[in-house]
Structure 1
Amino acid sequence: MSSYVVALDVGGTSMKGGLVSESGEVLLTERRPTPRADGPDVVVGVIREFIADLAARGGGGPAGVGLAVPGLVTADTALYSANIGWRDVPATAFTGLDVPVMLGHDVRTGGLAESVLGAGRGMTDFLFLPIGTGIAGAMIVHGEPYGGAEGWGGEIGHIPVFPDGEPCACGQFGCLETYASAASVGRRYSQRSGVAGAKAEEVVSSDDPLAIEVWDEAVEALSLALATYTLLLDPSMIVLGGGLAEAGPALFDPVRTRLVKRLAFREAPPLVGSALGVNAGMLGAALLGWRAAGRGELGASWTMDVRPTPGVS
C-alpha cells in the first residue's frame, strides 16, 4: 500500500491541497484558486487536475483521496453547494485516479481534525466554530462530527440571535453570521462610518467609537449563540477558529466573560483557540483519505504538533 494520501480542502475562494503520510507527516502543501466564477464543471475539472498534480509529485500513487467540500455532502456525493453551484457530483468525478475517495463537509472535516489531532483531542463532545467570511460549526458528538438528519447540523451562523435584527442572505433576520462573521464586522463598520472596504481586523484594533460599537454587537451575538448551544448540547469545550480568532484576547476575553454571565446556574465550557488553524480542513481531508483506504485507525497516533517537513510551505 502507498504510504501517503492526497488531501484537499476546497473553499469558495481557494483550495489547499497536500500529501500526508500514514505517520501524519505533511509531505507537501500547495494552494490554488477556486474558479467558481467559471461554473461548477470548471471547478470539478480544476480539482481533478490539482489531485493529479499532487499525486504525481508523491510518486507511486496515493492510497486514497480525501476532500473537504462546502455545502450538503455525503461520503460519496457532493449533493449541493450554493457557493460553487454543483449538484449531485459523485466523489469519483473529482479524480481520475483509480483509488478510493471520501468526501466530507468542509467545517465538519476541520472539526474532525481538531478532534483527532488538535485542541479537542481527548474530548468526546465539543463545538468547533471557525469564524471567517461566514460562520458554521462542527458539532463533535461522541468523538465524531454530527451532521443531523439531513446534513444541516451545525448551521450555527443562522441562529437568530436578534430576531428583529438585520436581514441575512439566508432569508432570516438577525442571524449570528450577519453580526459576527469577519465579513459582516467589516461591512457593518463601513455602513456606519462611510469607510469603504473596512476589514474586520481593522475594526477590532480601532478605538473609533463606531468600531467599538460594531465589535461589541458582534461579541454580544456570539455569546448569545454559544450560550444557546451550551444549554442544548453541554459541550466539554468550545474551540474557536477561522480568521477572526486571530484577534486573540480581543475576541476571547469578552466572549468568555459574557458567556459566563449568560450561564448563571452552570459553569461555562472552556473557550479555546484552534490548534490547527488554516491546516484543519486539509488535515481532516487526510484523515478521510486514510479512512477511504481502510486505515481509519490512523491519526490517533499522530502527534498534536503536526507540521510540514522542512522546506514545505
Structure 2
Amino acid sequence: MPAPAHSPAAATPTGAAGDVTPPPVAARTGGFTLPGPVAAFDVGGTDIKAGLVHPDGSISHRSTTPTPRDPARPAAAVVDRTTQLAAAMPGAVALGVVVPGLVDDVRGVGVYSANLGWRDAPFGELLAAATDLPVGFNHDVTAAAIAETTFGAAAGIADAAVVAIGTGIAAGLIVDGRPHRARGYAGELGHTVVDPSGPLCPCGARGCLEAIASAAALARRYTEVSGRPAAGAREVLAARAAGDETAARIWQEGIRALAAGLRQLSALLAPEIVVIGGGLMRAGDDLFTPLRREAERTFTVHPVPPIVAATTGPDAGLLGSALIGAGALTGDAA
C-alpha cells in the first residue's frame, strides 16, 4: 500500500495507533468473523470515522477526521483522505468504505449525495487503484443495519429496518435476512414526502421527511422561525425543556413527520422491528416516547413494530463496513 503523501489534516485520534478497544460481546461468541484485519471507514456528512477492525471485532488505529469538502472534486477528496488513513493501518487484507446518499454497491458507485455533492462517483474503482486492496463499498446506513442485525438490537430478526437520523435520514433494510439495496435506491426514507406543502429539500422536492425531522432540519427550522440560532437538535431540545413554545412545536412536527415516514415504511415492508440510530437517538425518551405514541395513534391497518434504540453504538458503521470489506475479499456479500 503506498505511503501517504502527507498526514491527514485535522485528524483526531480517539485512541493511540496501537490501542485496541475490547471486542463487542457477540464478537467473542462467534457473531463476528473476519478473514483478517480490515481497514474500515464510515464517511459521514461531518466526519470520517476510521479504524482497523480485527477478526475478534476489536478496533485499533482509530481516528475521526473532518469529511473533506471540495466542490470541484468531492468524491476524489474523500478517496484521497481515505487512502491516507488506510496507509497507516498495517496488515489490512481488505478495505470497507461506506458513504451516505444513493449508492450502487454492485458497481461500487456513489450515485448521488445531496449533502456531499457527488454524482456517479466510481468509489470502488478509485479506492482499489489507490490501495491495491479488495474493496467493499456500500451505504453507511446499510452498514449500520448489518451490524445491528449481526449482534445488535435486531440480532436474529429476518425483517428489520435500521433508521439513522442525523444530518439526513435513511433506512438500512434487512429483508429475509439480507440487505435490500435495489441498486442503491432502497432505503432513502428521508426522501419520502410526508408533507407536500412542507419545506424545500436539497433533492428538489417539497416536504421530504429529511427536510422536517432530521437533526439538521430541526435546528434549521427552529432558527428560521424563532430567529434564535441553534447549532443542532440538542439546542432545540434544551429550548423545549425550558418552555420555548416554538421549540416544542418544531419538535412535535418532527415527531409527526417521523411517525408518518415509519407508517409508509411499515405499509410497504412491514418490518418486525424498527431500530433508531444516528445522533438524534441521543434524545432518548424525548424522542422515543412521543414517537411511539404518535405511531400508535396514526398506524391503522399495520401493527406498530417495536421502535427501539440501536445498541451497537458509534462503532456500528465501522463494524458493518468491516464486514462489507471482508465480503469483497471472500466473495460472500455481507
Secondary structure of the residue that 2:170 maps to in structure 1? Answer: coil
Which structure ranks higher in relative contact order (CA pairs < 8 Å, sequence separation ≥ 6)? 1
CA separation in 2, counterparts of 1:81 and 1:252? Answer: 31
Q: Which residue of 2 aligns with 1:73?
A: 104
Q: When the two structures are superposed, what TM-score results if normalisation uses the length of structure 1?
A: 0.87
| Contact 1:114-1:274 within 8 A present in 2 as well | yes
Secondary structure of the residue that 1:24 maps to in structure 2? Answer: coil
Q: Is 1:192 the equivalent of 2:222? A: no
After TM superposition, the structure 1 stretch with the greater mean CA deviation from structure 2, 120-129 or 72-81, is: 72-81
| Contact 1:128-1:241 within 8 A present in 2 as well | yes
After TM superposition, the structure 1 stretch with the greater mean CA deviation from structure 2, 276-285 or 70-79, is: 70-79
Q: Which residue of 2 aligns with 1:33?
A: 66
- Give ranges in structure 2 of 5+ residues lacking alignment: 1-33
Whichever residue aligns with residue 51 of structure 1, its letter is: A
Q: Which residue of 2 aligns with 1:21?
A: 54
CA distance 1:66–1:198, shift in 2 (3 Å): closer
Q: 1:155 aligns with which of 164, 172, 188?
A: 188
CA separation in 1, counterparts of 2:202 and 2:77? Answer: 25
Secondary structure of the residue that 1:36 maps to in structure 2? Answer: coil
Q: Which residue of 2 aligns with 1:212?
A: 248
| Contact 2:108-2:138 within 8 A present in 1 as well | no
Whichever residue aligns with residue 98 of structure 1, its letter is: D
Secondary structure of the residue that 1:259 maps to in structure 2? Answer: helix
| Contact 2:161-2:174 within 8 A present in 1 as well | yes
| Contact 1:76-1:102 within 8 A present in 2 as well | no
CA distance 1:247–1:276, shift in 2 (3 Å): same
Whichever residue aligns with residue 97 of structure 2, its letter is: L
Q: Which residue of 1 aligns with 2:150?
A: 116
CA separation in 1, counterparts of 2:70 and 2:121? Answer: 19
CA separation in 1, counterparts of 2:120 and 2:176? Answer: 30
**Deviations for 1:66-109, whole angstroms, at most 9, x for unmatched residues?**
11123323245224343142634252422544332111111111
CA separation in 2, counterparts of 1:210 and 1:258? Answer: 19
Number of residue-to-residue matches in the alignment:
292
CA distance 1:24–1:296, shift in 2 (3 Å): farther
Q: Which residue of 2 aligns with 1:63?
A: 93
| Contact 1:130-1:240 within 8 A present in 2 as well | yes
CA separation in 1, counterparts of 2:187 and 2:35? Answer: 34
CA separation in 2, counterparts of 1:241 and 1:176? Answer: 16
Whichever residue aligns with residue 196 of structure 1, its letter is: P
CA separation in 2, counterparts of 1:208 and 1:161? Answer: 25
Question: What pairs with 1:255-294 in structure 2 (closer than 5 Å)?
Answer: 255-294=291-330
CA separation in 2, counterparts of 1:62 and 1:275? Answer: 27
Q: Which residue of 2 aligns with 1:52?
A: 87
Whichever residue aligns with residue 178 of structure 2, its letter is: E
**Deviations for 1:195-246, whole angstroms, at most 9, x for unmatched residues?**
0244211212322011111111000111111112112211100001111110
After TM superposition, the structure 1 stretch with the greater mean CA deviation from structure 2, 134-143 or 63-72, is: 63-72
CA separation in 1, counterparts of 2:142 and 2:35? Answer: 26
| Contact 2:171-2:189 within 8 A present in 1 as well | yes
Q: Is 1:233 the equivalent of 2:269? A: yes
| Contact 1:12-1:36 within 8 A present in 2 as well | no
Q: Which residue of 1 aligns with 2:166?
A: 132
Secondary structure of the residue that 1:293 maps to in structure 2? Answer: helix
Secondary structure of the residue that 1:286 maps to in structure 2? Answer: helix
Secondary structure of the residue that 1:137 maps to in structure 2? Answer: strand
Whichever residue aligns with residue 249 of structure 1, its letter is: D
Cα offset, 1:30, TM superposition: 1.3
CA separation in 2, counterparts of 1:80 and 1:8? Answer: 18
Q: Which residue of 2 aligns with 1:304?
A: none
- Compute the RMSD of aligned alpha carbons: 2.1
